[in-house]
C-alpha cells in the first residue's frame, strides 16, 4: 500500500492543479453562453467584436460595426461578454 502513495499523491496534484480548474472554467463558459441575450457586446474566438442581435437555440447573430453587417455564429464561438445591455 505504501508503494502506491506517491502515485496517489501525483494523481491528486494533477486533479487539483489541472483538471478541476479546467472543469470550473468550462462550467463558467457554458453558463455565460446560456445567458446571452440581445444587446450584449461580445467577442468571438476569431476576435470579432459585435453586438448580439438575436439568439437561437445554438446560434447567435452579431451586428458588426462600422457597416452594421450581420454575421451568424455558433453560440460556442463566444469567448467573452464585454458588457451587457444598459451597463458600462
User: Domain spans of the chain?
Assistant: 2-83
Q: Which fold has domain 2-83?
A: SH3 type barrels. (2.30.30)
Q: Which residues pair with 51 in a beta bridge?
A: 41, 63
Integer Cα distance of 84 and 88 in angstroms: 8
Give the angle subtended at the CA of 20 by the CAs of 42 and 60, to the nearest 5°: 20
pLDDT score recorded for residue 86: 46
Which range, of 3-12, 32-41, 55-64, 75-84, averages the lowest pLDDT? Answer: 75-84
29 cis-preceded (ω within 30 degrees of 0)? no
Query: Collapsing DSSP states into helix, strand and coil, what is residue 81?
Result: strand
pLDDT tens, 30-66?
Answer: 999 999 999 999 999 999 999 999 999 899 999 999 9
Percent of the chain's residues with pLDDT above 70: 94
Q: Which residues pair with 72 in a beta bridge?
A: 61
pLDDT score recorded for residue 1: 79
Amino acid at each position: 500500500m505504501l508503494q502506491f502513495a506517491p502515485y496517489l499523491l501525483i494523481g491528486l496534484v494533477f486533479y487539483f492543479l489541472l483538471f478541476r480548474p479546467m472543469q470550473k472554467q468550462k462550467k463558467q463558459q457554458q453558463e455565460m453562453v446560456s445567458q446571452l441575450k440581445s444587446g450584449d457586446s461580445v467577442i468571438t474566438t476569431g476576435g470579432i467584436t459585435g453586438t448580439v442581435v438575436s439568439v437561437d437555440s445554438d446560434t447567435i447573430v452579431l451586428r458588426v460595426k462600422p457597416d452594421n453587417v450581420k454575421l451568424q455564429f455558433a453560440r460556442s464561438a463566444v469567448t467573452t461578454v464585454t458588457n451587457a445591455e444598459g451597463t458600462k
